[in-house]
Amino acid sequence: MRNRGFGISSDEILGKAYDSKLMKRLLQYVKPYAKYVAFAILLNVVVAGLGPLRPYLMKIAIDEHIAKHDYNGLLNIVLILFAVLIFQAVVRYFLTYFTQLMGQKIIYDLRIKIFAHIQNLSLKFFDKTPIGRLVTRVTNDVESLNQLFSSGIITIFSDVFIIIWIFIFMFSMAWELALVTLSVIPFLFYATFLFRKKVRNAYRSVRFHLARLNSYMQEHISGIYIVQLFTKEKAEEKKFKAINDDYKDVNIKSIFYYAMFFPVVEFLSSTAVALIIWYGGGEAVQGAITIGVLLAFIQYTEMFFRPIRDLSEKYNILQTAMASSERIFKLLDTKEIIPDPENPKKFDKVAGEIIFKNVWFSYTEKDYVLRDISFKIESGKTAAIVGATGAGKTSVINILNRFYEIEKGTVLLDGVDIRKIKKEELRKHISLVLQDVLLFAGTIKSNISLNNPAIGDDEIVEAAKIVGIHDFILSLPNGYDEEVKEKGATLSGGQKQLISFARALVYNPQILILDEATSSVDTETEMLIQKATRNLLKNRTAIVIAHRLSTIKNADKIIVIHRGEIRESGSHRELLAKKDIYFKLYQLQYKEQENFIL
Ligand code: CTP
Ligand code: MG
């Protein structure tokens, strides 16, 4: 991958400024708002026509009324001019409002679509995609499309209309003078061409360095704990400064081109005005044209350059939007979704018998993480999976939930292949308590119910009581409505675990999976957790990835996984008697826990 060190990939490559295929696809999102578009274009035509009308009115005021000392006529024209100005302001207001509204509506839809798509992707996709990149898709990339819709495409219409109107007015008033104005156009085109080329490259490096800055920031803030622990702040600051310097430099470079371009355009437009004054002034002296026409032309010439100057800005908007939409569509086209069956099997009630039959699985297609795994857990029984770190324990439950697809073999729930069950249906019957507890920003209550409206307050309290965290929750100032910060930052490890137990319990699943945390807690919490675990496992089929001797001893069956294979299975007593792997594990890891067991 290109520039891997900076976390930048094909993301930063700018594509074509206009790609009709992409545009066609983008327009599908505009379609629901076709009425807004039509209205906005109509307003644009009106606004575009009103501007060039003003110099024309001024010409009439000078030639027809001022020159002829017609005071009443002049007053009429002034009133008309004033009315035009007010009308223009009103139309502009509606134009701005409707284009922004349309832009916001389109990107709102798009964000929902992207988020929904991301949520459905298989975990395999997330294993290889940095979070920052996905966040960028939903925020920055979508935002640049907003710019395209709200100020890009539609104002291009108005620019073109303005230019057409000015042409019409100029040629109908005095075509020779019109040609004089146009004489500077080739120079303007050349300047714009050069500018566009330079800015494009500069813009590319700005984006590259911005992405570098962002990924550096992201990594360091999420790893701040380590940075502070190893007192790396100074060193990291130095690295950051270097990245920041680069970013500043490329920005300054791109500003330089703008700083050059605008004065050049200004110079060209002044030259055109000077030519008009020189040539048109001569004509006026000879009486070939009136003073009114001369003044109107000066205004038209100035007016004419504005949209052309803006076009280069819009070119940038278009280019950015094309690049963004390409990335968004690439994400939306990602098909890494675990499929649901066409004719799914429905369950009224699940007994909870789980069978793994010769299951082979790998995360990366290269190495098998699980090899030929077979076991059976009868309904209502508890199986403990034990094994060294990295042995493949979590992988077993990832498969059972269908977070990942297996390569070979079958997994059966009540005798039905889990690939024949809808994922939603399957996961409804399974609750999962993870090794790393994840709490969301919200309240204690919302973290237990996960905002499921079907779960009443009584059930939440009941679950909290069973796992023994009810009293703790009541001791908080706001009880069940106490605010929980992102990732549950204000709660201790043990508290978070118990809340996640309550979360699993409140759904009252027939099957429960528990990936026990390895982090140790104080003796009192340990006892609470042991008791909660016992309550959790009662009357359900359970798979526990066990680190606690108490859980293991209470299990109906212990499955020992070693390097992706089942090496032993049986009860605690049976396995100890074998004096093989479990026996060694017991000596090394569990024996010292003996004292804690109730
Ligand atoms: N693995 C992987 N990609 C993942 C998750 C895991 O390649 N997304 C690999 C790990 O490197 C490991 C193997 O799969 O070598 C098994 O991982 P896992 O089942 O998570 O191991 P556990 O037995 O659960 O280990 P621990 O006790 O540390 O949780
Ligand atoms: Mg694990």
pLDDT category, 14, cuts 50, 70, 90?
low
pLDDT at 17: 66
pLDDT (tens digit per residue) in 460-519? 999 999 888 999 999 999 999 999 887 777 888 888 888 998 998 888 889 999 888 766
Mutate which of 394, 404, 519, 566 for ligand 1 pocket (most atoms within 8 A of beta carbon): 394
User: Which whole number is the average pLDDT over 528-556?
Assistant: 85
Give the whole-number percent of the chain exceeding pLDDT 90: 37
Q: 390 CB less than 6 Å from ligand 1? A: yes
Residue 131 has pLDDT above 80, yes or no: no
Q: 395 CB less than 6 Å from ligand 1? A: yes
Ligand 1 atom nearest residue 391's Cα = 23
Ligand 1 atom nearest residue 518's Cα = 27
Rounded to the nearest whole angstrom, what is the distance from the C-alpha of residue 435 to the centroid of ligand 2? Answer: 7
199: CB partners within 8 A, 6+ apart = 254, 257, 258, 261, 312, 316
pLDDT at 561: 93
Give the integer Cα–Cα distance in Å for 189 and 261.
Answer: 12
Q: 564 CB less than 6 Å from ligand 1? A: no
Ligand 1 atom nearest residue 367's Cα = 7
Instruction: Give the pair of three-digit tokens for residue 188.
Output: 């303007």
Q: 391 CB less than 6 Å from ligand 1? A: yes
Nearest CA, atom 16, ligand 1: 392
User: Which whole number is the average pLDDT over 236-257?
Assistant: 91
Task: Look up residue 317 and give its amino acid.
Answer: I
Residue 269 has pLDDT above 50, yes or no: yes
Give the integer Cα–Cα distance in Å for 316 and 199.
Answer: 9
Residue 524 has pLDDT above 80, yes or no: no
Weakest mean pLDDT among 110-114, 151-155, 439-443: 151-155
Q: 436 CB less than 6 Å from ligand 1? A: no
pLDDT at 128: 80
Give the integer Cα–Cα distance in Å for 232 and 556.
Answer: 49
Do residues 503 and 464 lie in contact, with contact meaning Cβ atoms separated by under 8 Å? no
User: Residue length, the chain?
Assistant: 598
Q: 392 CB less than 6 Å from ligand 1? A: yes
pLDDT at 598: 46
Number of CB atoms found within 10 A of residue 193's CB: 11
Q: Are the folds of 20-174 and 379-404+417-597 the same?
A: no
Whole-model pTM over 0.75: no
Beta strands in 449-564, from DSSP E residues, in sequence order: 483-484, 511-515, 541-545, 557-562
Domain ranges of the chain: 20-174, 379-404+417-597
Nearest CA, atom 21, ligand 1: 390
pLDDT (tens digit per residue) in 406-455? 989 999 999 999 999 999 889 889 988 887 888 888 999 999 998 888 88
Ligand 1 atom nearest residue 370's Cα = 16
CA 86 to chain centre: 42
pLDDT at 519: 64
Give the integer Cα–Cα distance in Å for 152 and 243.
Answer: 32
Q: Return the residue matching tokens 């909290």.
A: 464
Give the CA distances from residue 489 to residues 217, 318, 439, in Å, rounded to whole numbers and listed in that order.
20, 42, 9
287: CB partners within 8 A, 6+ apart = none
pLDDT (tens digit per residue) in 165-207? 898 999 998 898 899 988 988 998 888 888 888 887 787 788 7
pLDDT at 275: 93
pLDDT at 216: 86
Q: 398 CB less than 6 Å from ligand 1? A: no
Give the integer Cα–Cα distance in Å for 513 and 516.
Answer: 9
Superfamily of domain 379-404+417-597: P-loop containing nucleotide triphosphate hydrolases (3.40.50.300)
Closest residue by Cα to residue 314 from 132, 192, 220: 192
Q: Which ligand is nearest to the CA of 392?
A: 1
pLDDT category, 315, cuts 50, 70, 90?
confident
Mutate which of 123, 128, 369 for ligand 1 pocket (most atoms within 8 A of beta carbon): 369
pLDDT category, 595, cuts 50, 70, 90?
low
Residue range 20-174, CATH number:
1.20.1560.10
The DSSP 8-state label assigned to residue 251 in this structure reads H
Mean pLDDT of the chain: 86
Residue 457 has pLDDT above 60, yes or no: yes
Give the whole-number percent of the chain exceeding pLDDT 70: 95
